[in-house]
């Protein structure tokens, strides 16, 4: 087994993948896909203001063109509901955003046949105390580790953590989330681009007019900022 502090060889990253999350409306899904998003997230956590029912997520996911992936976000949910959602939304990835242990996450991937992402909730003021190397090792079966700020309500709070305090040798694909906007996403990419096996970005509140209601112009600006940063970082 690869040691948790040893990075596997990777090819140079030329294009940063973009996930956008918290969609509730058809027009917003279409705008994100048209702008160049690689993945579209649907929140299946009822307390969230961005929550949609499983059936609604399926309706919205059917709008996605080929090679744009739906992602279903769960927070400490039941195995039965996760399996039901995956059966209803073909081709969706699973995102675990709560306190789910590695064994549960992997069991759900095996039961549904879907890869999963696992969110690491990084403290806002004490990021250095979060052992991301250990977390990545524990969740080594995850397709990627999503780095989000530890806020009340499990994400979507528009808060950033201190990127500079994360370790530079995480043996996992990383997805930077938490308070990203068109104005700061390039800074986040520069800070963490070489810290894992690859880096993707995930945005929710940073492209919104209101919670769950996206802004087409902000969507386009976010994608443009990521592509500009890719060009600068070559």
Torsion of CA 54, 145, 97, 1, to 10 degrees: 100
DSSP state of 46: T
Distances in whole angstroms, Cα of residue 1 to Cα of each of 9, 25, 140 = 15, 44, 11
Of 21, 28, 86, 105, the active-site residue reads 21
The pair of structure tokens assigned to 18 is 């973009």
Q: What is the 3-state secondary structure (H, E, C) of 60-111?
A: HHCCCCCCCEEEEEECCCCHHHHHHHHHHCCCCEEEECCCCCHHHHHHHHHH
Of 131, 148, 152, 232, the active-site residue reads 148
Q: Does the annotation count 131 as an active-site position?
A: no
Q: Does the annotation count 28 as an active-site position?
A: no
Going by their DSSP bridges, the two strands 213-214 and 208-210 should be labelled as antiparallel
Neighbours of 48 (CB within 10 A): 20
Active-site positions read 21, 148
């Amino acid at each position: 087994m690869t040691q948790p502090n040893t990075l596997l060889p990777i090819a140079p990253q030329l294009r940063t993948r973009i996930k956008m999350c918290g969609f509730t409306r058809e027009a917003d899904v279409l705008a994100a896909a048209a702008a160049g998003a690689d993945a579209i997230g649907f929140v299946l956590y009822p307390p969230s203001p961005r929550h949609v029912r499983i059936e609604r997520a399926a309706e919205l996911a059917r709008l996605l063109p080929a090679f744009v992936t739906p992602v279903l976000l769960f927070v400490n949910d039941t195995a039965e509901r996760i399996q039901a959602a995956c059966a209803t939304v073909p081709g969706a990835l699973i995102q675990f955003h709560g306190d789910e242990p590695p064994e549960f996450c992997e069991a759900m991937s095996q039961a549904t046949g879907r890869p999963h992402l696992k969110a690491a909730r990084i403290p806002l003021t004490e990021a250095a105390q979060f052992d991301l190397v250990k977390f990545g090792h524990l969740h080594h079966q995850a397709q990627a580790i999503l780095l989000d700020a530890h806020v009340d309500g499990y994400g979507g709070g528009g808060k950033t953590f201190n990127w500079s305090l994360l370790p530079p040798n995480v043996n996992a694909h990383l997805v930077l989330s938490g308070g990203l906007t068109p104005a700061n996403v390039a800074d986040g990419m520069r800070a963490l681009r070489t810290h894992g096996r690859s880096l993707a970005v995930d945005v929710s509140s940073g492209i919104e007019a209101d919670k769950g209601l996206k802004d087409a112009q902000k969507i386009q600006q976010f994608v443009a900022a990521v592509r500009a940063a890719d060009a600068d970082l070559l």
